[in-house]
Amino acid sequence: MFCLDSTASARAYNSLSKALLVVCSVWFASANAAGSLPSETEEQEPLSAASTEAALAAKAVDVENLGVIASEAYFRLMPPGRSVSSAYMLLNNTSEHDSVLLSMQSDQAERVELHEHSHSDGMMRMRKLDKLTIAAGESVRLAPGGYHLMLFGLQVGLTKDDVVTVELSFDSGKSVIVNAKARSLK
Ligand SMILES: [Cu+2]
């Protein structure tokens, strides 16, 4: 699935120099215009101290069992009122077995997808991926212009002090809890 419809991307990519920022702003604009953003009707409860402790405990156990460590996690701070953003991190597979990221979810977002940017016919597009394999002993970096997590229906009004918690589920059946800090991206 491509995030950009071909008309919007053709207009937007006349100037390649604006590549990444244009991708996101045009994509956000078209998503809003199409009314495809989920409603904001679901109540989002802030993480309590107890659930934070539980999450940290879960992370410790999962890292031990799974061998995948997530670090340097952050999400892109959105303009006011926007509910779609992206998250980035470094995934390091310290085990002796390949690990396949299959799904991800967050209590703070309606839906989380794995995407990658790719060049096609001289244009940069976003594409949804079904999985991401992290080879044994290898790292994969999710970063602007490459792999990223797309956060749809994200809690509105997040600020620089907020954290988005995402659960990554792997083919082993285990999962890793990632706390992504807010970051402003130029
Ligand atoms: Cu994307």
Q: Is residue 39 part of a domain?
A: no
**What is the percent of the chain with per-residue pLDDT over 90, rounded to a whole number?**
54
By the 8 A CB rule, do 64 and 127 touch? no
Inside any domain, residue 19: no
Question: Does any domain span residue 32?
Answer: no
* Distance, CA of 6 to CA of 173 (rounded, Å): 37
Instruction: Say which CATH number the domain at 72 has.
Output: 2.60.40.1890
User: For position 49, what pLDDT does the model report?
Assistant: 57
Q: Is residue 34 part of a domain?
A: no
Q: In the prediction, which pLDDT does 16 show?
A: 39
Q: Confirm whether 176 is domain-assigned.
A: yes
pLDDT in tens, 127-141: 999 999 999 999 999
Q: Look at the chain and report how many structural domains it folds into.
A: 1
pLDDT of residue 121: 81
Greater pLDDT, 59 or 119: 119
Question: Within a domain: residue 64?
Answer: yes
What is the 169 CA–ligand 1 centroid distance (Å)? 19
Report the predicted TM-score, pTM, of the whole model to 2 decimal places. 0.65
Q: Give distance in angstroms: CA of 4 to centre of ligand 1.
A: 9
Residue 96 lies in a domain: yes
For CA atoms 37, 32, 117, 183, give the dihedral sign: negative
What distances in angstroms separate CA 151 from CA 17, 76, 109, 110, 156, one per listed residue?
A: 25, 10, 6, 8, 12
Mean pLDDT (the chain, rounded): 77
pLDDT tens digits, one per residue of 69-99 = 999 999 999 988 899 999 999 999 999 999 9
Boundaries of domain holding 100: 48-183
Q: Is residue 160 part of a domain?
A: yes
CA of 149 to the centre of ligand 1 (A): 7
